[in-house]
Structures are given as structure tokens and as C-alpha cells.
């Protein structure tokens, strides 16, 4: 159970982060597109596939109702945008495909991955999927093209699945389990991803989810806290009930305890049998990345770029040989330092040497007050070389990261106003 003092610190941190993201996370300036890259640099490429057959109440990503015709049209434009990025001079070693539902149209997806592999120096491909598209026949086609498949299961609990509308579409917890069991081992890495702290979820329900996961034995898992930004707050309340943070701290402790033996390597809210090759949150793990597709983000040097969200406008930009990037925001150095502090400590450790190499400053000189407050809150430990999190710090940085993602949702919210889904 969370002590009164740690609750106060958590609430204050949450408030500070929401103010911080309100201040920094908005993108209004019109953009002329991505700048040309420096020579010999390789980036991560993110591809967004914005189609789903159903909309989950907690989901804030850019998505539209799937039709074969809309998806075929979209993929044609997407591949043109990829060619445009190639012409600009970019090269990539990592590819992450997210959505939406990337496997919703296998044929188009395979064509696109093959193109990306042909154009760039790709070493690793990670792709998301819902539980509906993971038949062994489909997964066999991905063998050799995709290294990591991340399956958004969210929960094995039938009562919750029914409330979420996923039971009818994707099957019961048992059926989802059987589908995953039948394809495990085909690809090098499968990650089975869960969400915790749904309204009405009990500790017993969470433990059941974790035990089912361990029985299944995928190579990796991510267990995220439910995030209720303004974009999804009402739909969560309507379908699942009143949201509360009361259990979040306890539940995160239960997750870490339950997974520590079978999944010893922890990276934020991701857990792995092996410490290498977690590519879960590309935004977190990569200082710079390029996003293509409607509603994707790119971050290069100190600037966030936003692609057009509306499908028709996205198509027009590409057909007119215009960049699909419509807006950008350049961040001041201090906000980038805060961001680095948050991201590295979300992953448990910040190297002072790496920080100095990135910003040309000693962290104790520029963020001395922040480090002092975090030490006072018993969230971090520090020595000459690094800053690491305590047990409580692990949770506090999860809270910060959650607020950051909810801040990103505000950008999506603004960009999606008036769109027909
Ligand atoms: S959670 Fe996945 S399937 Fe559900 S709406 Fe979001 S992208 Fe679509």
C-alpha cells in the first residue's frame, strides 16, 4: 500500500508533469518538411497504419474504419512518402510499424516491408498486431521480414474483454491464448502486451493475467498503466466505469514482483527474458526518428515534426509531391534536458557521461535542483558516474512517462478535431 507521503509526492509530480506538457507539447508552427539528414547517419523509421475494424475505448492513436479500398489507396501513398524520404538522403537501420492495425492488410504490409528493406540498411523490424491477425499462416509469411511482433492483448479477463468490445471481435481470453500459443517461436521475438489498472480490475484479476502470460512464455512483455487523457476519458468512463489511480502504485509493485524471475530485464514498463533487443517505445528508446504515414511524428535534432492526420489531405500532399509534414515545434535546450532525465530514469539509469556528451553540460550544474528534489523524495540514488532509481523512483518515473504520453495525446486531439473516423 502506498504511504501518505509517497501519494503526496506522486500527486505533485503528476501535477508538475501535466503543467510541463501543457506548456511544451503543442505544435502549431507550419512546416516545410523534414530537413536533409547529415551524412552517414542511420535513424529509426516509424510507419503508421491508421486502420482498425473496431475502436477500443482507451485508444488515442490516429485511426480510421478499415475498408480494403481505403487501405490500398493509403499504402500506395505511404510507399511514395517512403521514396520521398529516401530521396532526401535518409537511411534507417530500425523499422517499427504501428497503428492502428498493421496486419489488417497483409499483402500491402509485406510489399511495404520489402520496399523498406530494399531501400535502406534495415537490421531489425518490429511490428504491432491485434490478436485477430496472428494466424500461423500469416506469421509464417512474416518470417525473415519481421524480427519482433508485439501483440496488444491488454487482458485475458473475459469480463473486461466484453466491456472493451474486444471479446466479440478478437475472442475470449482462452481463445486469444490459444492463438498466440500456436504462433510462438515462428518469429525471433514475440511480445505479449497487457494494460493494468482498468476500472473494476482487482489485484486478483491482474495476478491471473500475469500468471496466464507466464504460462504462455513469450520472449517479452509490456505492461502499461491505463492512460486516460482528455481524448479517451469519457469513452473509458462510459464503457469501463469510473477511473481511479488508487491501485496503480500497488499494481505496479505486483507486476514487478510477479515478473522478476521469468522476465529479469526491465526497461520502463517492458520486461524481457533477455536484456537485448527491447524495442518497445520507439519514442523513448531513440533520440531521433522519422515517422511516415498519416498522424505520425518525427523528432530530429531539437524539433518535433507532425504529419497530416486526415487521410484525404495526406493523399493530396503526396499526389502533389509535397511533404506530408504540416507542423513543427523546436524545443529549447532545458526542455530537452528534462526529457532526457525523465526517459533515462524511466529506464532506471542515467549516465552522467552520456548526458554531458549530449548537452555539453554537467548534469549537476544544470539540473542540480531537480536532482536534489528527487533525492529528497527518495526517488533516486546518485554517484560520480550515474543516477539510478529506487523502488519508489521506478513508479514515479512511470507516472511522469504516463503524463508525457497523455501530453502527446493532446497534440493528437488537436490534430484530429473535425475528422470523420
Ligand atoms: S487498441 Fe489497437 S485495435 Fe483498438 S482501436 Fe487502438 S489501434 Fe485499434
- 315: in domain: no
If asked whether residues 90 and 124 sit together in one domain, one would say: yes
Pocket probe mutation, ligand 1, options 48, 50, 52, max atoms within 8 Å of Cβ: 52
Residue 344: CB within 6 Å of ligand 1?
A: no
Residue 52: CB within 6 Å of ligand 1?
A: yes
- Residue 277: what pLDDT? 58
- 414: in domain: no
| pLDDT of residue 321 exceeding 80 | yes
Pocket probe mutation, ligand 1, options 61, 64, 161, 409, max atoms within 8 Å of Cβ: 61
Residue nearest to atom 6 of ligand 1 (CA): 59
∠ Cα 157 161 164 (to 5°): 145
Mean of pLDDT values over 179-196: 95
- Residue 283: what pLDDT? 62
If asked whether residues 56 and 185 sit together in one domain, one would say: yes
Distance of CA 358 from the midpoint of ligand 1 (Å): 36
- 69: in domain: yes
- The CATH number given to whatever domain includes residue 97 is 3.80.30.20
- 215: in domain: yes
Q: Which three cell numbers stand for residue 299?
A: 523528432
Contact (CB, 8 A) for 58 and 235? yes
Query: Which atom of ligand 1 lies at the shortest distance from residue 99's CA?
Result: 7
Residue 58: CB within 6 Å of ligand 1?
A: no
Confidence class of residue 192 from pLDDT cuts 50, 70 and 90? very high
- 267: in domain: yes
- Residue 418: what pLDDT? 65
- The parent domain of residue 241 ranges over 31-285
Contact (CB, 8 A) for 343 and 337? no
| pLDDT of residue 208 exceeding 90 | yes
| pLDDT of residue 59 exceeding 90 | no
**What three-state secondary structure class fits 151?**
strand
Pocket probe mutation, ligand 1, options 57, 64, 149, 152, max atoms within 8 Å of Cβ: 152
If asked whether residues 8 and 136 sit together in one domain, one would say: no
- Sign of the C-alpha dihedral computed for residues 400, 406, 408 and 410 taken in this order: negative
- The CATH number given to whatever domain includes residue 351 is 1.10.10.920
If asked whether residues 19 and 71 sit together in one domain, one would say: no
- Residue 104: what pLDDT? 93
If asked whether residues 137 and 41 sit together in one domain, one would say: yes
CB atoms within 10 A of CB 374: 24
Summarize the chain as % helix, strand, coil (round to 5): 50, 20, 30
If asked whether residues 156 and 103 sit together in one domain, one would say: yes
If asked whether residues 351 and 277 sit together in one domain, one would say: no
Distance of CA 154 from the midpoint of ligand 1 (Å): 10
Residue 59: CB within 6 Å of ligand 1?
A: yes
ipTM (interface pTM):
0.99
Q: How many domains does the chain have?
A: 2
If asked whether residues 80 and 17 sit together in one domain, one would say: no
Distance of CA 127 from the midpoint of ligand 1 (Å): 14
Confidence class of residue 411 from pLDDT cuts 50, 70 and 90? confident
Percentage of the chain modeled with pLDDT above 90: 71
- 408: in domain: no
If asked whether residues 247 and 207 sit together in one domain, one would say: yes
Amino acid at each position: 500500500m502506498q504511504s501518505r507521503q509517497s501519494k503526496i509526492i506522486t500527486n505533485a509530480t503528476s501535477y508538475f508533469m501535466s503543467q510541463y506538457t501543457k506548456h511544451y507539447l503543442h505544435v502549431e508552427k507550419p512546416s516545410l518538411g523534414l530537413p536533409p539528414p547529415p551524412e552517414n547517419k542511420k535513424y529509426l523509421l516509424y510507419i503508421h497504419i491508421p486502420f482498425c475494424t473496431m475502436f477500443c475505448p482507451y485508444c488515442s492513436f490516429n485511426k480510421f474504419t478499415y475498408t480494403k479500398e481505403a487501405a490500398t489507396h493509403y499504402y500506395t501513398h505511404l510507399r511514395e512518402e517512403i521514396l520521398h524520404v529516401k530521396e532526401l538522403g535518409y537511411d534507417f537501420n530500425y523499422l517499427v510499424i504501428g497503428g492502428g492495425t498493421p496486419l489488417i492488410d497483409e499483402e500491402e504490409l509485406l510489399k511495404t516491408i520489402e520496399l523498406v528493406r530494399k531501400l535502406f540498411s534495415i537490421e531489425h523490424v518490429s511490428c504491432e498486431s491485434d490478436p485477430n491477425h496472428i494466424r500461423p499462416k500469416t506469421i509464417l509469411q512474416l518470417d525473415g521480414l519481421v524480427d519482433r511482433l508485439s501483440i496488444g492483448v491488454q487482458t485475458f479477463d473475459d469480463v473486461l474483454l466484453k466491456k472493451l468490445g474486444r471479446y466479440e471481435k478478437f475472442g475470449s481470453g482462452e481463445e486469444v491464448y490459444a492463438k498466440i500459443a500456436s504462433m510462438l517461436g515462428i518469429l525471433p521475438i514475440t511480445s505479449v502486451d497487457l494494460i493494468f489498472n482498468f476500472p473494476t480490475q482487482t489485484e486478483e484479476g491482474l495476478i491471473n493475467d500475469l500468471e496466464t502470460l507466464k504460462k504462455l512464455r513469450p520472449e517479452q512483455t509490456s505492461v502499461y498503466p491505463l492512460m486516460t487523457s482528455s481524448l479517451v476519458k469519457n469513452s473509458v468512463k462510459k464503457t469501463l466505469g469510473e477511473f481511479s489511480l488508487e491501485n496503480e502504485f500497488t499494481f505496479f509493485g505486483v507486476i514487478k514482483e510477479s515478473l522478476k524471475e521469468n522476465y529479469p530485464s526491465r526497461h520502463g514498463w517492458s520486461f524481457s527474458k533477455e536484456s537485448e533487443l527491447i524495442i518497445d517505445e520507439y519514442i523513448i528508446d531513440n533520440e531521433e526518428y522519422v515517422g511516415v504515414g498519416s498522424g505520425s511524428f518525427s523528432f530530429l535534432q531539437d524539433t518535433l515534426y507532425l504529419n497530416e492526420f486526415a487521410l484525404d489531405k495526406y493523399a493530396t500532399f503526396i499526389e502533389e509531391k509535397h511533404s506530408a509534414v504540416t507542423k513543427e515545434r523546436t524545443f529549447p535546450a532545458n526542455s530537452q534536458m528534462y526529457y532526457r532525465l525523465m526517459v533515462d530514469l524511466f529506464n532506471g539509469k542515467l549516465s552522467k557521461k552520456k548526458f554531458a556528451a549530449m548537452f555539453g553540460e554537467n548534469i549537476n550544474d544544470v539540473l542540480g535542483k531537480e536532482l536534489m528534489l528527487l533525492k529528497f523524495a527518495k526517488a533516486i540514488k546518485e554517484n560520480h558516474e550515474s543516477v539510478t532509481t529506487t523502488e519508489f523512483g521506478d513508479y514515479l518515473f512511470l507516472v511522469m512517462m504516463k503524463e508525457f504520453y497523455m501530453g502527446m495525446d493532446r497534440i493528437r486531439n488537436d490534430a484530429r478535431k473535425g475528422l470523420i473516423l
